[in-house]
Amino acid sequence: MTRLNVLDSSFLIAENRETPMHTGGVSLYSYPKGVDKRKFLNGLKEILLAGTDLRPMFNQRLSNNLLSKANLTFSWEQDQDFDIEYHIRHSALPRPGRYRELFALISRLHSTLLDRNRPLWEMHLIEGLAGNQFATYLKTHHCMLDGVAAMHLTDSMLSASNRGRVNQSPLSLEAWEHYKKKNLATRKAVSASSSDIKSLADKLTEQIGSGKNLAQAVMKYANVWLGGNPALNAPWHAVPRSIISSEVTGSRRFVAQSWPYQRIRAAGRALGGTLNDAVLAMCAGGLRRYLLQSGALPNKPLKAMVPISLRVEGDLESSNAVGFIVANLATHLEDPGERFTTIRESMLAGKELYSGLSAGEAELFTQIAMSPMVISKLLSLEKALPAFNLVISNVPGPKKKMYWNGARLDGIYPASIVVHGQSLNITLVSYGDQLDFGIIACRRSLPSIQRLLDCLEDTLSEMEEFAGLV
């Protein structure tokens, strides 16, 4: 029995029918030249089904004791009736098998809860895509994997060569140990998190007493309410209402698209910022256009929560290890240059806040700053009092083109989580020379979210034009 820590547990506590807490990854692959497509896909399925000794949590279920029934504490235990055929699923698209049909299927698959009586994951092999492609959709509960951990999993089944073959299941303990040995020195994570809520309180008292840096960081946040630092943004502070802030229903709409890494980086550099600043500016401008078209742009700027990884290099064990910065998206500004500058300054102010902290302090700070969020989720206050408008998350993926037993990986598109008050999530993965955007939205709150893809492209063009690049 492994007890889940507070952050991991919070994803279970906050979950209900309207706000499932799983994330998904959609991967597009090209079949190797000249293969029999059906045989090839069945071969991959065989490899996935063959896994017996799986890595932790992939063959474990939540223990069904009284405390977990009351949503108080959770532990993992071996699933004695583990049935891998339940988890590995073969799906298909109706003709003509465009991305549109793929997005419709992913939207539906992402809208349903995982079965808490079983290990909290599903893997779909999806055939029927037009052209020479197939897709996978991996759905895992956020309590067992965060974005970076999911990316390690994807990595572990891939090779950098089209001649590479991995014939053990990517979910097997063997594959995982092999991957860990090959790629990273295993170190135990520096973890300030604790096993249950009571001892978190003890830890906080204990560590804040000796943590001058931490106290200063908390003070800086408090100062935001007093108007002390206009560039720094804090959760719950000056968050405008819009259709993005609505109460969500259980159904989702998923869309995705890739952009060239070079295009976005060049725009960012020309405007005096980082790649990530450019990504945020692209999302900000895209949202501004989308909301203007919907007649729903708020007067005050939208605020985005931007997760930053607190994962210590070599930590492959933690399920979740993230901090965050609140970015001012400056969606009220028409001028793309002013918008970019405002976004950049808010990111710098947020980074500065974390810069004086050790890894352990940073994790603890995140828990302090976020703990009202966990509580407000419990009390369903988010609809009235959102901490920010949406999450925009940038997850580093493989740097080179990768292959799954000869099939080229063409893109990795994340489908993340929406909650009450935040009916949209944009998560992107950097992969090779491209950035893969995955957008998930509450289907009822946000009309025709596929329009946002055009809005993102239009904004990138606008930025390029403004910077004199085209």
Positions that interact with its own copies (CB under 8 A): 17-18, 38, 81, 83, 86, 89-95, 101, 104-105, 108, 111-113, 115-118, 125, 127-128, 249-251, 443-444
Q: How far is the CB of 23 from its own copies (least distance, A)?
A: 18
CB of 118 or CB of 289, closer to its own copies: 118
Q: Give the closest residue to 26 by CA, choosing from 118, 163, 120, 140.
A: 140
Region label for 197, one of left (φ > 0), alpha (ψ between -120 and 50) or beta (otherwise): alpha
CB of 89 or CB of 152, closer to its own copies: 89
Q: How far is the CB of 97 from its own copies (least distance, A)?
A: 8
Our measurement of the distance from residue 467's CA atom to the centroid of its chain's CA atoms, rounded to an integer in Å, reads 30
- Identify the active-site residue in 142, 237, 332, 420: 142
Catalytic residue list contains 142:
yes
Q: How far is the CB of 111 from its own copies (least distance, A)?
A: 8
CB of 364 or CB of 415, closer to its own copies: 415
Q: How far is the CB of 18 from its own copies (least distance, A)?
A: 7
CB of 86 or CB of 225, closer to its own copies: 86
- The token pair at 345 is 């300054």
What does 195-256 look like in DSSP terms, one character per residue?
SSHHHHHHHHHHHHHT-HHHHHHHHHHHHHHTTS-TT---TTSS----GGGSPP-S-EEEEE
Helix (H, G, I), strand (E, B) or coil at 194: coil
Residue linked to tokens 């973890």: 191
CB of 61 or CB of 339, closer to its own copies: 61
Distance CA 440, CA 392 (A): 11
Residue linked to tokens 């989720």: 377
Question: Which residues neighbour 377 within 8 Å (Cβ) at sequence distance 6 or greater?
Answer: 10, 13, 14, 419
Helix (H, G, I), strand (E, B) or coil at 464: helix
Q: How far is the CB of 92 from its own copies (least distance, A)?
A: 4
Q: Which residues are catalytic?
A: 142
